[in-house]
């Protein structure tokens, strides 16, 4: 059994009357790469700051390996942070920046210097040890911030959108590097991002947050393939939401009626109810066929070329639009605009969502 | 558009350089007339012979500098001893200015910090309040200070009437009165530059330091003070230098015993009793001292900038 590194119980954070976090309960495992994902203003950074100790919590509990840390100030928590804008000390060179935490922990100069050498090697900055932050590129500053936070060997490392200030190419390289460093050091990483691709590619598990509430916690695959509600389905990847009438939900299976009156059975999320509901179907799981063979019928209304893929938008009779992803490299028949087509998807590809 | 851009770049060196010089002309004229010319005059005067009713005789002489450093007796024919009178006045001025600067820093830093950490609108109000005393002439402000702190002034009367003290606290005509006057005159010069650098301070640096196990005191010492140091140094210079040459506060609040350089210089140019070359020489010595300090500071700054 793995240990729980961070255990958050029914945490609520209020700013005056504004609810930043509502009743959040979350367990982050030892040695896990855990991502807090959500749109800006959703509360993910607030959650991270409560773990770091920069914000106190209004209600609830927060434990680090079983120890209650809710009342500890940040300098008493064995947790380090990589800040969004890095927050490197501008008057200290790279070595002194990295050494800062070690000296505060009471290490002697020689021990601290040895450790600085180690972490600078880990982030490949050995040759920049004497530079001031202002003399480094954005990517290098980001590594210094990482080295500085890793140096004291924290129990948990918090990363607050550390890649958002980097350009795309660099971001992709650093993603891999971060994963590698997490493997090598075995430190629990809690990573905050609003970028779903970042979250999907790096994390062991992801918590999706919106409006200060946890929406879903799970692996990348679980969240992508079995989103629990409309928000998660729409925020992670692209999806089609088809309005249906639900006649029955039991044991995770739903029976519903498609807009054209066809009955359809598919898996349902927890909390899905009878009545009006939404069916989520990813664009790549929809296929086009002749109108007679399709579950749904519609008119091709738009084509969007995306390089390797193509999106065909099909407008159903009730004006709902369903997007179909077609590989452009194949000799697929791409319907001309105005052509009537049938749409098919398997029961396993669709999912009835909770609202 | 692109064409115009290229043209302006190409002509940058010829036309714009000429225009630049033309635009600089007023500044050069002002610096020339109001800085170089008067200081040059003082420099020349300090090497001339004094005329008895004030003024100068155009005859080269080192008498002024000699008078400052050496005592040759009443008739000027004794063997030269070091003259301590003026050196003591200098020393006292440096001490008074340093104490005033220290008080300004102790009070000014928290004030500047307070203002810089307010939100937008109230910040402007606080800044405005800091500058209000400057609407009143320095002479009037210093005289009001004198009335405020004298033995029968409102401060003492209030304290006596409340029974806290039975005899007035004697402040006027002491060193402390001068320090108080200097402090009061130049406090905003400390607050404003520190405010400017605290306002630019990135508070996530404090968070980062706390995250790296630093206590509040360590954060202040190792992170905040070094980052806002340029503002602190600028403030100290802006208070120390004018305090050193001040004459209103020492004259009005310090009395005859607490003479400072500013008053010494002022005396030399006042009425018929003055000694212009001597006054000019004292000014030059003061100026050299200030320049040495400033040059040292500038060197340090550029060294740090290069690092």
Residues of B within 8 A of A51 (CB-CB) are none
If DSSP codes are grouped into helix, strand and coil, which group holds residue A56? coil
Distance CA A154, CA A6 (A): 13
Place A329 in a pLDDT band, splitting at 50, 70 and 90: low
Give me the residues of A, 73-92, that contact B with CB < 8 A: 73-76, 79-81, 83, 85, 87-91
CB-based contact B213 A101, cutoff 8 Å: yes
Sign for the pseudo-dihedral over CA of A40, A46, A51, A52? positive
Phi, psi of B76 (to 5 degrees): 75, 15
pLDDT value, residue B15:
67
The C-alpha of B104 sits at a distance from chain A's nearest C-alpha, in angstroms, of: 25
pLDDT in tens, A54-71: 999 999 999 999 999 999
pLDDT value, residue A18:
92
Per-residue pLDDT at B156 exceeds 80? yes
Per-residue pLDDT at B2 exceeds 50? no
pLDDT in tens, A251-287: 888 898 888 888 888 898 887 888 888 889 999 999 8
Nearest CA in chain A to B223: A89
Nearest CA in chain B to A133: B307
Is residue B225 a contact partner of residue B232, using CB atoms and an 8 Å limit?
Answer: yes
Mean pLDDT, chain B, as a whole number?
87
Nearest CA in chain B to A73: B210
Distance CA A345, CA A325 (A): 12
pLDDT in tens, A138-151: 889 999 999 999 99
pLDDT in tens, A139-196: 899 999 999 999 999 999 999 998 888 888 888 888 888 999 999 999 999 999 999 8
pLDDT value, residue A37:
94
What is the average pLDDT across B66-90?
A: 86
Residue A325: enclosing H or E segment and its boundaries?
A: strand A321-327
pLDDT in tens, B216-242: 999 999 999 999 998 999 999 999 999
Residue B30: enclosing H or E segment and its boundaries?
A: helix B17-31
Q: Which of A36, A34, A48 is CA-nearest to residue A204?
A: A34
What is the average pLDDT across A311-316?
A: 91
Percent of chain B exceeding pLDDT 70 equals: 94
Q: Which of A30, A25, A31, A29 is CA-nearest to residue A10?
A: A25
Interface test with A, best of B200, B201, B204, B211 (most A CBs within 10 A): B211
In sequence order, what are the residues at sequence separation of 6 or more whose Cβ sits closer than 8 angstroms to the Cβ of residue A354? A228, A229, A230, A269, A270, A271, A272, A273
ipTM of the complex: 0.82
Interface test with B, best of A69, A75, A162 (most B CBs within 10 A): A75
Residues of A within 8 A of B210 (CB-CB) are 53-54, 73-75
Per-residue pLDDT at B305 exceeds 70? no
Dig out the tokens for B59 from the structure: 């005859």
Give me the residues of B, 162-221, that contact A with CB < 8 A: 202, 204-205, 207-215, 218
If DSSP codes are grouped into helix, strand and coil, which group holds residue A83? coil
Which option is the CATH number for B95-258: 1.20.58.110, 1.10.15.40, 3.30.1370.100, 1.10.3720.10? Answer: 1.10.3720.10
Nearest CA in chain A to B206: A87
Other beta carbons within 10 Å of B233:
16
Interface test with B, best of A96, A99, A100 (most B CBs within 10 A): A100
Identity of the residue in A73, A91, A104 whose CB atom sits nearest the CB atom of B226: A91
CA angle A249, A255, A261 (to 5 degrees): 145
Nearest CA in chain A to B306: A132
Residues of B within 8 A of A75 (CB-CB) are 210-215
Identity of the residue in B202, B212, B227 whose CB atom sits nearest the CB atom of A101: B212
pLDDT value, residue B72:
84
Nearest CA in chain B to A83: B208
What is the average pLDDT across A126-135?
A: 94
Nearest CA in chain B to A84: B204
Identity of the residue in A87, A88, A149 whose CB atom sits nearest the CB atom of B207: A87
Per-residue pLDDT at B12 exceeds 70? no
Strand order in the sheet with A67-68: A18-29, A4-15, A59-64, A67-68
CB-based contact B211 A132, cutoff 8 Å: no
What is the average pLDDT across A113-120?
A: 94
Residues of A within 8 A of B213 (CB-CB) are 75-76, 101, 104-105, 152
Per-residue pLDDT at B6 exceeds 70? no
Distance CA A63, CA A51 (A): 9
CB-based contact B208 A87, cutoff 8 Å: yes
CA angle A40, A43, A48 (to 5 degrees): 110
């Amino acid at each position: 059994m793995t240990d729980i590194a961070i255990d958050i119980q029914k945490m609520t954070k209020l700013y005056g009357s504004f609810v930043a976090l509502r009743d959040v309960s979350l367990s982050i495992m030892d040695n896990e790469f855990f991502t807090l994902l959500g749109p800006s203003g959703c509360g993910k950074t607030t959650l991270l700051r409560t773990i770091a100790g920069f914000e106190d919590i209004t209600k609830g509990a927060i434990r680090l390996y079983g120890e209650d840390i809710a009342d500890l100030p940040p300098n008493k928590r064995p947790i380090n942070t990589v800040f969004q804008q890095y927050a490197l000390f501008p008057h200290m060179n790279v070595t002194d920046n990295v050494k800062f935490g070690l000296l505060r922990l009471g290490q002697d100069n020689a021990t601290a210097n040895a450790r600085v050498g180690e972490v600078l090697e880990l982030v490949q900055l050995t040759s920049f040890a004497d530079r001031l932050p202002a003399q480094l590129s954005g990517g290098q500053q980001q590594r210094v911030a990482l080295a500085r936070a890793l140096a004291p060997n924290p129990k948990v490392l918090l990363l607050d959108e550390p890649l958002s200030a980097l350009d795309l190419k660099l971001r992709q390289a650093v993603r891999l590097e971060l994963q590698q460093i997490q493997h090598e050091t075995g430190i629990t990483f809690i990573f905050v991002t609003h970028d779903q691709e970042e979250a999907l590619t790096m994390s062991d598990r992801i918590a999706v947050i919106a409006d200060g509430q946890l929406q879903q916690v799970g692996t990348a695959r679980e969240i992508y393939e079995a989103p629990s509600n409309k928000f998660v389905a729409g925020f992670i990847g692209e999806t089609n939401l088809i309005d249906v009438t639900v006649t029955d939900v039991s044991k995770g299976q739903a029976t519903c009626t498609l807009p054209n009156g066809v009955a359809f059975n598919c898996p349902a999320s927890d909390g899905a109810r009878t009545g009006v509901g939404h069916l989520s179907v990813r664009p790549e799981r929809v296929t086009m066929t002749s109108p007679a063979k399709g579950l749904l019928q519609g008119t091709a209304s738009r084509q969007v070329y995306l390089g390797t893929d193509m999106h065909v938008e099909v407008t159903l009779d009730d004006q709902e639009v369903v997007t179909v992803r077609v590989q452009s490299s194949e000799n697929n028949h791409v319907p001309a605009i105005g052509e009537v087509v049938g749409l098919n998807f398997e029961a396993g590809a669709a999912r009835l969502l909770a609202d | 558009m692109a064409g115009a851009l290229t043209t302006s770049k190409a002509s940058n060196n010829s036309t714009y350089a000429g225009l630049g010089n033309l635009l600089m002309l007023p500044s050069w004229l002002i610096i020339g007339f109001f800085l170089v010319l008067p200081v040059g005059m003082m420099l020349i005067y300090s090497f001339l012979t004094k005329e008895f009713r004030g003024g100068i005789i155009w005859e080269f002489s080192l008498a002024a500098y000699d008078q400052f450093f050496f005592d040759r007796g009443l008739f000027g024919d004794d063997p030269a001893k070091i003259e301590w009178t003026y050196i003591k006045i200098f020393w006292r001025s440096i001490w008074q200015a340093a104490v005033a600067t220290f008080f300004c820093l102790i009070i000014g830093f928290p004030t500047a910090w307070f203002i810089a950490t307010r939100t937008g609108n109230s910040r402007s109000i606080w800044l405005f309040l800091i500058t209000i005393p400057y609407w009143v002439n320095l002479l009037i402000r210093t005289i009001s200070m004198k009335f405020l702190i004298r033995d029968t002034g409102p401060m003492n009367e209030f304290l006596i009437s409340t029974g806290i003290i039975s005899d007035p606290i004697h402040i006027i005509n002491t060193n402390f009165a001068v320090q108080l006057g200097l402090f009061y005159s130049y406090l905003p010069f400390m607050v404003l530059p520190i405010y400017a650098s605290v306002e630019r301070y990135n508070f996530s640096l404090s968070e980062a330091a706390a995250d790296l196990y630093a206590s509040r005191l360590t954060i202040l010492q190792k992170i905040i003070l070094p980052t806002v140091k340029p503002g602190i140094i600028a403030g100290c210079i802006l208070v120390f230098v004018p305090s050193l040459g001040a004459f209103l506060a020492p004259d009005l609040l310090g009395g005859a015993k607490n003479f400072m350089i500013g008053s010494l210089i002022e005396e030399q140019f006042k009425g018929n009793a003055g000694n212009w070359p001597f006054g000019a020489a004292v000014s030059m010595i003061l100026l050299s001292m200030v320049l040495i300090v400033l040059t040292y500071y500038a060197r340090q700054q550029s060294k740090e900038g290069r690092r």
